[in-house]
Structure 1
Amino acid sequence: MKPARFAYHRPNTVTEAVTHLREHAGGARVLAGGQSLVPMLNMRLWRPDALVDINEIDELDDLRVHGERTEIGALVRYSTLERSPLVTERLPLLSRIVTHIGDRQVRNRGTIGGSLVHGDPTGEMPLACLVLDATVVVVGPDGVRRIPVAELYTGSYATVLEPDELLVAVDFPGRPQHVAFRQYCRKHNDFAVVSVVVTGDRDADGIWRHVRIALGGVADSPVLATAAANGLEGSRLTDADLDAAAAAAAEVIDPPSDVRASAAYRRHLLPVHLRRALNDLRAPRP
């Protein structure tokens, strides 16, 4: 099957891209990596009036450092995140988690901005950006907006972006000392059934600070388990602490039932994988 007819724009600047989006009044789609968009077009599940191809906008493909902050352009590919020494040094969670996304062909084309805008509730990149307290930089006709990833989603595959706004970068405020990631899939690199990411800093005396826990596949969008993380603040991550965190995290999820797993099975898996991730955090695997 082939897409329905559409207009095609290939701007060279962010301003041009926003102008085209505004001209089509909500009827245009942005083409970045196209890993989700193109299949939807070919199946005619989406029939936009126009595509705005942003791949010629050079400034969207940059990695920038501003002190402790790291800014990643919206067009940076998964494969770049996987291989970049800068990302490995400053944001090791991204270089680790990206290897669980699709296959090599997908990672060569898929982009961090496209993943965030697509908003798959099982997606690895929205989950990682949430736990790292990232902010997206968005440009529209009225100027620039900065939106915390924690406030980006209104539901499954739905964001707060306006139809004429373009996500141009993702800003990460710092880098936790320790990270851990656990995911359960039916097969390697399939869509996740349940995902867990935990981050934190450990003092010299073994006390944990700034713990954050994010969960994927258990709600309409990735969720922060704030109460569970707060319960670990100042702890030594004992077995009892891990059990308490798993119980608290179970209170904030509302998992779906779909072709991959039932809601009951996801509820069963979550505490198992959260305990494993927290155990990895306190005693990293070699």
Structure 2
Amino acid sequence: MIPAQFDYLAPTTVEEAVAALAEHGDEAKVLAGGQSLLPVLRMRLNAPEVVIDLRRITALRGIREDGDDLVVGAMTPHSVVASDPLMARHAALVPAAIEHLADAQVRHRGTFGGALAHADPAGDLGAPVLALGATFVAVGPTGRRTIPADDFFVDLFETALAEDEILTEVRIPRRTGWGAHYEKFVRVAHQWPIVAVAATVRAEGGTIAEARVGLTNMGSTPLRARAVEEALVGQPATEEAVRRAAERAADGANPPSDLNGDADYRRHLATVLTRRAVLSAAGA
């Protein structure tokens, strides 16, 4: 199908993009990599009057260190994030998730920030940024603000970004001494996960001191498995202890039922994948 007619803007700075978004309001859509928006436009599920393309804003691309954080520009392609040595050294959970994300074409065109701002609960990146304790940076007419990952995902395809704000970067803390692992269950390689789990664990002398566990496709947003995290603290990094904690993976979750599996099936998957992810992250 052919999209409905729209005006096209291609700003070269964040300030220009914010001004354009403020001017056109809810008549506008922001275009990042386009891997989600373009199909929606072609099917005419959305018909904005203006499309604001961020691809010419070079300041939104790249990965750098800033104190204890890695800073990932929102317009950095998935393939760049996946191959970056800083990410491999300090936030390997993200490249591990991107490895399973769609196909090579999508990974080269799609962007890190665009996928997160799209907020698909079945997307591969939401759970990892939750498990890593990332922070989102947004810029709007009133300036810059930060949003913790725990507060960023609000509902199905909805984030804490205001209508006149643009996501500019994601800050990921470098966690020395933490292990991490990503587990994804699919029926066909590189499809959306039926369920996925991202886990980060800090163990001391064989005992789990801290843990963060993110769940994919277990509700209308990516979720923290807080009951699991609490149950893991102080426990030995053994198969039996982790299995007991992982039984609580679906506590508070509201997984969907669809052609890929019903809610009970997803709850079962969450417990199995959480056990695997935590054990691998703990080095057990």
Q: Please, what TM-score do these two structures have when normalized by structure 2?
A: 0.96
Q: Which residue of structure 2 lines up, in the alignment, with residue 97 of structure 1?
A: 97
Q: Which residue of structure 2 lines up, in the alignment, with residue 48 of structure 1?
A: 48
User: Which is worse superposed, 234-243 or 79-88?
Assistant: 234-243
User: Which is worse superposed, 250-259 or 50-59?
Assistant: 250-259
SS in 2 for 1:100: coil
1:260 CA displacement: 2.0
Q: Which residue of structure 1 lines up, in the alignment, with residue 175 of structure 2?
A: 175
CA distance in 2, matches of 1:281, 1:149: 20
| Residue 5 (structure 2) pairs with residue 5 (structure 1) | yes
Identity %: 37
Counterparts of 1:1-286 in structure 2 under 5 Å?
1-175=1-175, 177-203=178-204, 205-283=205-283
1:175 CA displacement: 2.4
- 5+ residue gaps, structure 1, are none
SS in 1 for 2:181: strand
Amino acid at match of 2:163: P
User: Which is worse superposed, 39-48 or 61-70?
Assistant: 61-70
Aligned-residue CA RMSD (Å): 1.3
CA distance in 1, matches of 2:250, 2:62: 38
1:259 CA displacement: 2.6
Amino acid at match of 1:171: R
1:250 CA displacement: 2.1
Amino acid at match of 1:40: V
Amino acid at match of 2:123: G
CA offset digits 1:154-188 (Å, max 9, x no partner): 21111121111100000112225200111111211
CA offset digits 1:138-165 (Å, max 9, x no partner): 0001111101111112211111211111
CA offset digits 1:110-139 (Å, max 9, x no partner): 111101110010111111111111111000
CA distance in 2, matches of 1:82, 1:69: 17
Aligned length: 283
SS in 1 for 2:99: helix
CA offset digits 1:170-215 (Å, max 9, x no partner): 0112225200111111211101100011111222x22222211111
SS in 2 for 1:256: coil
After TM superposition, the runs of 4+ consecutive aligned structure 1 residues lying more than 6 A away are none
- 5+ residue gaps, structure 2, are none
CA distance in 2, matches of 1:216, 1:81: 20
1:86 CA displacement: 1.5
User: Which is worse superposed, 247-256 or 130-139?
Assistant: 247-256
CA distance in 1, matches of 2:73, 2:44: 29
Contact 2:227 2:251 in 1 (8 A): no
Amino acid at match of 1:230: E
Amino acid at match of 2:156: S
